[in-house]
Amino acid sequence: MRILIAEDDLTSRNMLAAVLRKAGHEVMETVDGAETWKELQRPDAPRLVILDWMMPGMDGLEVIRQVRAVKTDRPPYLIMLTARGEKADIIAGLDAGANDYLAKPFDVGELRARVEVGRRMVEMQDALCKARDALAHEASHDPLTRIFNRRAVVSVLSRELSRESRQHHGLAAGICDIDHFKKINDTYGHMVGDDVLCAFTRLLRTGLRDYDCLGRIGGEEFLVIAPEVDNDGATNLFERLRMRVANTPISTRAGTVTITVSIGVRIVREGDTIDTVLAAADDALYRAKKGGRNRVCLAL
């Protein structure tokens, strides 16, 4: 792994670097506290640092304090170098946030072993972060279409509603429901139905602006949140989506399928909440279905 040696003493630095390189690590070197702190602020900073206690400018203890003041889920593992027997230094360093210490002159075997402990800790932390991120992704995304699930898209709606109540830049929400989707399943089977859902999702996504949000709120129902739109803008946006779906044949494992979509749109009004927006859009969707499908209806 990449290890930073922060040590002003040339002999000690060279010895540390030689041992660590021999153990297969990639070694970087700094010679004072300020340079060390600068290195550690880089996004790709090394995750394991061997830090001398006494250095010109900012000392090791100060560097430890600076590093630990930064809130991050991937903090570096810090091994402090102290003169043998400086108990008070060791305690101060550990209290400030060092993970471990090594007394100078160091023992080669001990150095290797302590660095190995650090490497294991860093790897374990990375694995935990990765697992956490994967769980968070799973909790907010629909497994079939890979877009936001109901919970995630509704939370975006909540955020956009509170922004709209302050800024009044215009906000619209549209529920897009595939017409007669059950027929696709009945005719071609569920797998083809799934293909169509994925293709439909891609069609909507490519028809939206970067700052619009799309999520799956039910089987073949999707919610589009479009900020920064006035009435005409919202109508145009959803009408464009409707036409794109109607005019784009979808190729599936059973051949080409054409679908249409009905969309119920609420242009957000003063005092709207998640519930009123969704109920109004749903009501408009119902009218779009009743009116013959393949159409956009605005909430009354």
> Using alpha carbons only, what angle is made at residue 262 by residues 261 and 268, rounded to the nearest 5 degrees?
125
3-state secondary structure of 203: helix
Residue from 142, 177, 195, 212 binding Mg ion (CB under 5 A)? 177
Minimal distance, residue 142 CB to ligand GH3, in Å: 9
Q: Kindly give the interhelix angle for 274-290 and 150-167, rounded to the nearest 10 degrees.
A: 110
User: What x-and-dash track marks residues 135-174 binding ligand GH3 by CB under 6 A?
Assistant: ---------x------------------------------
Determine contact, residues 173/215, Cβ cutoff 8 Å. no
User: What x-and-dash track marks residues 79-108 binding Mg ion by CB under 5 A?
Assistant: ------------------------------
220 catalytic per annotation:
yes
Determine contact, residues 287/297, Cβ cutoff 8 Å. yes
Pick between residue 53 and residue 164 the one whose CB is nearest to Mg ion. 53
- Is 290 a binder of ligand GH3 (CB under 6 A)? no
Cα–Cα distance measured from residue 258 to residue 114, given in angstroms and rounded to the nearest whole number: 64
Instruction: Return the closest-CA partner of residue 145 out of 221, 43, 62, 253.
Output: 221
Residue from 8, 59, 228, 282 binding Mg ion (CB under 5 A)? 8
Q: Which stretch binds Mg ion (CB under 5 A): 22-30, 45-53, 66-74, 159-167?
A: 45-53
Cα–Cα distance measured from residue 271 to residue 183, given in angstroms and rounded to the nearest whole number: 39
- Is 253 a binder of ligand GH3 (CB under 6 A)? no
- Is 35 a binder of Mg ion (CB under 5 A)? no
Pick between residue 121 and residue 246 the one whose CB is nearest to Mg ion. 246
- Is 180 a binder of ligand GH3 (CB under 6 A)? yes
**271: DSSP letter:** T
Cα–Cα distance measured from residue 4 to residue 76, given in angstroms and rounded to the nearest whole number: 10
Residue from 29, 32, 35, 52 binding Mg ion (CB under 5 A)? 52
- Is 182 a binder of ligand GH3 (CB under 6 A)? yes
- Is 220 a binder of ligand GH3 (CB under 6 A)? yes
Largest CA distance in the chain: 86
Cα–Cα distance measured from residue 62 to residue 49, given in angstroms and rounded to the nearest whole number: 14
Residue with tokens 């519930």: 275
Binding-site ranges for ligand GH3 (CB under 6 A): 144, 177-182, 185, 190, 193-194, 197, 219-220, 289, 293
Q: What residues are annotated to the active site?
A: 220
